Amino acid sequence: MRRDFRIFALAGIGLTAACATVPAPGDPAVPVYAVAETQPVVTANEDAADDPAIWRNAAAPADSLIVATDKKAGLYVYDLGGLPKSFTAHAALNNVDLVDMEDQGIVVFASDRSDLAQARIALFRLDTAGGSLVELGSVASGPGEAYGICGTRRGDRLIVYTAPKSGRIGEWEITLSDTPTARELRTMQVPSQPEGCAVDHRDGTLYIGEEAAGIWRFRSGATAGELVAAVDGRKIVADLEGLALVPEGDEGGWLYASSQGDNTYMRYALPDVTPAGRFRIAAGQYGSTEETDGIEAQRGDFGPNFPGGLFIAQDGVNDGRAQNFKLVPLGAIEKALGD
């Protein structure tokens, strides 16, 4: 969610307002640099680009794909050079994720807020050879406006987590038949508007970003969560936006968060969600990032341009052009933070 930082002053009987141009300062952040960026989304002069998901091509890593939302127009599939492979028109898709369901293919799912009173999950299959999406249908996912989304595979079942603006978090089992269906397995709650969503595929631990408050952790099967990283104006400056989880070993790895209020990103070490460094994407061959909503990260081989893995961040300003996504080598981030 975009938030203007405003300074208000009374002048006589009138009220004037000026918009601050300098974001709220947090703790120092080291610079890293994008090595590629996506073509801007089709919707210009609006807050439109939002959230990315990554499919890694194990057989040909440099041919991996990115699925990303223009929340006013539809879903893009990009290559790692940032060029569109396809575009699927669909109004009001906000966040997106994907899961490899093996025999059922790569299933892409997005939060559909076409109806602000009734959230839905839009379902697609990713044609990895052609870089296109095949629409599978949609399922209802509870009352309210759809917003955050993430998912995992549990055996042969697709599990999707929804985070609508009301803060009512749902866990859904999706059956992929000719007419997909959804069954709610668990309901959770955060106090105010969430968006960021990441699930640990190893044990089902769910992380939800409450924009004004911080990161909540819900253990597998639990309905009550714990606030494990607060919005404090230093490590995370409101709004807290996207989350991305990079596992390592049985329980280690990293949880990344978009600190939108000061245009930075915070990294936490798992399993204890211990602060482990801040960084910003600075201007270099490609522009810097500002007002980032969605992020995604994945370790592994993505070809010669992305040693150590891939980190993607939405860019909400993009030097006056329509919004897009910046691509950074994950290894460069880890090196900059001292790993």
CA angle 150, 154, 155 (to 5 degrees): 150
Q: How many whole angstroms separate alpha carbon 51 and alpha carbon 70?
A: 8
Q: Kindly report which listed range (6-10, 59-63, 115-119, 284-288) carries the lowest average pLDDT score.
A: 6-10
Q: What is the pLDDT of residue 1?
A: 56
Cα separations (Å) of 286 from 22, 249, 256, 270?
21, 33, 22, 31
Average pLDDT of 57-84?
97
Q: How many whole angstroms separate alpha carbon 154 and alpha carbon 174?
A: 11
The predicted-structure confidence for 241-299, as pLDDT tens digits, reads as follows 999 999 999 999 999 999 999 999 999 999 999 999 999 999 999 999 999 999 999 99
Q: What is the pLDDT of residue 150?
A: 98
50, two tokens? 């939002």
pLDDT of 12 strictly over 80 = no
- Domain harbouring 286, CATH code: 2.120.10.30
- DSSP character at residue 239: P
Domain assignment present for 14? no
β-pair type (194-199, 14-19): unpaired
- DSSP character at residue 187: E
What is the layout of strands, in order, in the sheet containing 36-37? 36-37, 324-329, 309-315, 295-299
Q: What is the pLDDT of residue 131?
A: 98
Residues 88/110, Cβ–Cβ less than 8 Å:
no
Q: Considering its fold, how many domains does the chain have in total?
A: 1
* Amino acid symbol at 126: L
Cα separations (Å) of 233 from 27, 85, 98, 165, 242?
8, 39, 32, 22, 17
Domain assignment present for 204? yes
Q: How many whole angstroms separate alpha carbon 290 and alpha carbon 292?
A: 6
The predicted-structure confidence for 149-203, as pLDDT tens digits, reads as follows 999 999 999 999 999 999 999 999 999 989 999 999 999 999 999 999 999 999 9
Q: What is the pLDDT of residue 331?
A: 97
Residue with tokens 């060029």: 83
Domain assignment present for 325? yes
SS3 assignment, position 336:
helix
Q: What is the pLDDT of residue 72?
A: 95
Q: How many whole angstroms separate alpha carbon 83 and alpha carbon 65?
A: 10
CA 49 to chain centre: 11
Cα separations (Å) of 310 from 8, 101, 172, 283?
41, 22, 28, 18
Q: How many whole angstroms separate alpha carbon 101 and alpha carbon 78?
A: 21
Query: 7: exposed, middle or buried (C-beta count within 10 Å: 0-12, 13-18, 19+)?
Result: exposed
pLDDT of 20 strictly over 90 = no
Domain assignment present for 98? yes
Q: What is the pLDDT of residue 238?
A: 96
- Tell me which residue of 32, 47, 76 sits closest to 327, measured CA to CA: 32
pTM confidence score: 0.93
SS3 assignment, position 331:
helix
- pLDDT-derived band at 23, boundaries 50, 70, 90: low
Q: What is the pLDDT of residue 91?
A: 87
* Amino acid symbol at 259: S
Q: What is the pLDDT of residue 3?
A: 46
Residue with tokens 């002053």: 9
The predicted-structure confidence for 210-242, as pLDDT tens digits, reads as follows 999 999 999 999 999 999 999 999 999 999 999
Instruction: Give start and end residues of each alpha helix (H) in 144-273.
Output: none
Domain assignment present for 19? no
SS3 assignment, position 44:
coil
The predicted-structure confidence for 244-253, as pLDDT tens digits, reads as follows 999 999 999 9
- pLDDT-derived band at 25, boundaries 50, 70, 90: confident
Average pLDDT of 94-110?
97
pLDDT of 24 strictly over 90 = no
For 115-147, the three-class secondary structure string (H helix, E strand, C coil) is CCCEEEEEEEEEECCCCEEEEEEEEEEEECCCC
Domain around 319:
24-336
- DSSP character at residue 266: E
- DSSP character at residue 298: E
